[in-house]
Structure 1
């Protein structure tokens, strides 16, 4: 009887793995994402700032090129998806500006959904005037949409929009010449751009601000705090700002409150702590878990312990969307050298203190909290030993992982380790910048080869690759058992849960974006 040709079957198994069809930014073999998938990836992770592998201009050029390869409807869907579910700012504004440059019919619905506050309005105007999308003027249709926003926004929205420059809201008003129907709005615009106005027509918040400037004994107006900071406020006035402030504003200004003596006032530490841990406010704010982690890391010792503990509690609340997955979960956190880059790109002294490695640590620690028997495998050139306890705080475990790292990137290392140990699991989650190069080899990527071997032992297993950097390639090609998704919003966790439960179709993430309706 003839013996089975083992070598032949090993060769045949390799042929069933798709060959790599591109190279990544590190020059190693990779799989190209489709133009739609690549646009979603860049838009979800890019902040138009320099990353470890790509400068801001290169990112912009790539996004614009991808927009030329996809239809305007998908561009509009991506803008709405990333604004409403990813809470992104720069990229949705850029995509809306692209639609304006194209003269696309989808501009109106995309503008109405994605340009939903004054910051977004100023962003899209700035991008259009920069010439980045091929024009340096607004054009009649975008101008009309900006006018409509100005003529329908509330006084509070207009005041919030008035904070900031390049362009300022006054610049925008001068640019588009809105024709308001209400006397209060006409007075507000005149006040904003320094033209004569009837004081009795000013809307209430603006009138209160003018009254306060004229008489500091008047009540502190409920206006954006940036309008008040040049007035030499007392600690009690700063405390009133903290009481009136929105959730994000308070989170971002804890050290400012400490410097101005707010926490020295009896009861204010508790007031701010209660605001930060308020479940409804957290949900309404659409906070990224990593924003809470950043606030926790940035809080100095001058911020009371009760407030810092409230941030920990708020983080736990924000992570309630993390799925508890049936079966064994493995989380592979990339701790290589490139993961130490700022998560939102390099902006010099304004760069975020949060790095890609912090996000990887946060995702891994959060998954461990909801799946206590999960196996966490940090990796760089090889798997790095790090013992985490599921009952430790998410902050503690994330910081343990973020303290690791350095060295090259080897995305196949955790899968090779799992195969060597013959570990069984139903879900494997990677958090990486996807720039594997230590394991470069001809034909298929080492990650796909190792995943193929893992699947032979775990036929029902699924692989999720969360990319925290703007890329147009992946180490694991998209297919029924592999999900590639970018970004770090709560929606990523929701997609993991749906994918693990078999509730996503073959299009996965792109399909979720394509399901976005453009009706108002």
Structure 2
């Protein structure tokens, strides 16, 4: 007889062979081309990551954008902007599409280029030559011209904020033909040519007069235009009361410095706006942006404002799914997760790290799902005590304080197996670059091996891997019980809810993108 120690029957199904190496050189599973593009579309920021420079990230994006059909490329660009709330990535995908399929490019343009900042980013990307052409070409030029001609006066004023390129640069580049004397005057003012001031928009005329005299009401123009003026505390208070949710969130310390919060009614107004559910939804804010505001708010900002930020966070994550059965969430707190979400860019580096996002997701799940267990990990599972009754931000800060070492994605599953646990849903939030548990030879990854052990105890168990860095590999191959999904927006929670309830399969995320009509 053959050696039983070698040829004994294996328990459970055979693990699929790893198909790739991750950024650390350890075994992993590669995504399909469509999934790879979907993942990078909602996580890529071109700021550089722990394992990847900005140029390497761009080259990877261009490779996966070329690998898919033009229709899916158009759908991914639209999804990245409308559901992923991304800024630079949709413009890059649209620029590639302009070269690959001008017809689909025209169909997608207006759904991606929703404002002047996106327009300027798109022109910047094209002119860089990184996507295969340095001139706009006929189709892109026509679409940019049409946007400039048909945009509202207010949209053009907002578009006029920023440089490299400025809106004036764009106008000089494409030479739009204005349909009215008023639009001709506005274009002339933007590019710095003499114009008939009486034909400028009323709000712009008010701003010019206010700039010269300092008298009258605060003009209804973009906030950045007002900061150029010499304003009184009363003026700043009016700005705060008229500001959008996003603008107010970003300028709490500015308002404090200018005396806005010395008046109680101003504090009440701003606090009410920050916790307004409709305003939060309209702002399409990432929950982690509230974390930024709470972390960076000055110590002398009134407590009511800080409390409003905590309330806003609770509202922002209301669509975290409530799952029947036992839920375990595993935030990755290893060294590679300490990298900034937006990468490192001079003057534009986010204070929020991938670790903060993972912690925020974990704390949110714990708030919604009674009895949810949180198992943060790096080399192994880290010991942390969370109080379910504490605010989401408070618990997220406790988790994020666990700055870790190496990545071991199998550690939480091994921890559960050692204790004979078999939860119904396990959610990982990680960059998926596990290496501590790298298997030398044999089949699959250590994470998938440990998951199979859990599945033997609970055949209905499901695993969700939220990928928040676009490296293109996972430690658990997509299949009927494993969902790989990426991104920072609350759309991720919708995907998890549908998967956990059995309404959708593991390919649902890519399938949702493919449903977009172009």
Structure 2 length-normalised TM? 0.97
Could you tell me how far apart the structure 2 residues matched to 1:265 and 1:462 are?
A: 52
The 3-state SS of whatever aligns with 1:94 is helix
Cα distance in 2 between the residues matched to 1:348 and 1:175:
27
Q: Please give the root-mean-square deviation of Cα atoms over the aligned residues, in Å.
A: 1.6
Q: Secondary structure at the match of 2:483?
A: strand
**Equivalent residue in structure 2 for 1:59, among 57, 60, 63:** 57
Aligned length: 516
Q: CA deviation at 1:22?
A: 0.7
Give unpaired runs (5+ residues) of structure 1: none
Preserved CA contact (<8 Å) 1:251 1:295: yes
Does 1:116 find its partner at 2:114? yes
How far off its partner does 1:508 sit?
A: 2.4
Structure 2 match to 1:388: 386
The one of 329, 334, 339 equivalent to 2:332 is 334
Q: State the distance in 1 between where 2:197 and 2:347 align.
A: 42
- Partners of 1:265 and 1:153 lie apart in 2 by 38
Aligned residue for 2:503? 503
Instruction: Give the deviation of 1:424 after TM superposition.
Output: 2.3
Q: Deviation of residue 348 (structure 1)? A: 3.9
The match for 2:47 is: 49
Q: Is the Cα–Cα contact under 8 Å of residues 97 and 133 in structure 1 kept in the other structure?
A: yes
Cα deviation per residue 1:94-135 (whole Å; 9 max; x = unaligned)? 001111122432101211101101110011000001111111
Deviation at 1:336, TM superposition (A): 0.9
In structure 2, how many angstroms separate the alpha carbons of the residues matched to 1:417 and 1:369?
A: 23
Which aligned pairs between 1:337-352 and structure 2 lie closer than 5 A? 337-352=335-350
CA distance in 2, matches of 1:298, 1:377: 27
Name the CA distance, whole Å, in 2 between partners of 1:213 and 1:235. Answer: 16
Does 2:398 match 1:397?
Answer: no
Is this contact kept in 1: 2:455–2:461, CA < 8 A?
A: yes
SS at match of 1:389: coil
Asked whether the 8 Å contact 2:482–2:506 carries over to 1, the reply is no
Larger displacement relative to structure 2 (234-243 or 502-511): 502-511
Partners of 1:342 and 1:478 lie apart in 2 by 27
Q: 1:184 aligns with which of 174, 182, 185?
A: 182
Instruction: Return the match for 1:137 from 135, 138, 144.
Output: 135
**Which residue of the partner structure matches residue 323 of structure 1?**
321
Partner residue in 1 for 2:363: 365
The question of 1:167 aligning with 2:149 is answered: no
- Pick closer, same or farther for the CA change 1:104–1:71 going to 2, 3 Å: farther
Does the Cα contact within 8 Å between 2:485 and 2:492 map onto a contact in 1?
A: yes
Q: Give the SS at the match of 1:320.
A: coil
Which residue of 2 is the match for residue 516 of structure 1?
516
Alignment TM-score, normalising by the size of structure 1: 0.97
Question: Which residue in 2 is equivalent to 1:11?
Answer: 10
Q: Distance in 1 between matches of 2:368 and 2:107?
A: 38
Which deviates the most, 487-496 or 267-276?
267-276
Query: Which blocks of at least 5 consecutive residues in structure 2 are unaligned?
Result: none
Q: How does 1:265-284 map to 2 (within 5 A)?
A: 265-284=263-282
Match of 1:27 among 25, 28, 33: 25
Alignment of 1:112-511 (within 5 A): 112-441=110-439, 442=441, 443-511=443-511
Could you say if the C-alpha distance between residues 392 and 9 of structure 1 is closer, same or farther in structure 2, counting changes exceeding 3 Å? farther
Distance 1:10 1:417, change over 3 A: farther
Q: Distance in 2 between matches of 1:387 and 1:265?
A: 39
CA–CA distance in 1 between the matches of 2:293 and 2:264? Answer: 23
Q: Aligned partners of 1:81, 1:409: CA distance in 2, in Å?
A: 30
Whether the 8 Å contact between 2:461 and 2:481 is mirrored in structure 1 is yes
Q: Is the 8 A contact 2:319 2:490 kept in 1?
A: yes
8 Å CA contact 2:182, 2:199 repeated in 1: yes
Distance 1:356 1:456 in 2: 32
